[in-house]
Amino acid sequence: MKTVELLLQDLLRSRYDYAVLKMKELREKLQDKEEIDMQFHPQAGNALSLAFGIFCYI
């Protein structure tokens, strides 16, 4: 069971790190806040928050 938890934790960490990196890249490309807001779907922020919450829980 511990192995499954570690694998899940590693998977969530890598997805979270990738999302943060991608967000940083887009912010560098898109300087205008309105452009940034158009690029992100509202659910994307919720998914990122959920993934981070699960990661912290584990």
Label residue 52 by pLDDT band (50, 70, 90).
low
pLDDT over 70 percentage in the chain: 48
Quick check: 48 pLDDT over 70? no
- pTM reported for the whole predicted model: 0.48
Greatest mean pLDDT among 12-16, 31-35, 51-55 lies in 12-16
> What is the C-alpha separation between 46 and 26, in angstroms, rounded?
18
Task: Compute how many other C-beta atoms are within 10 angstroms of the C-beta atom of residue 13.
Answer: 14
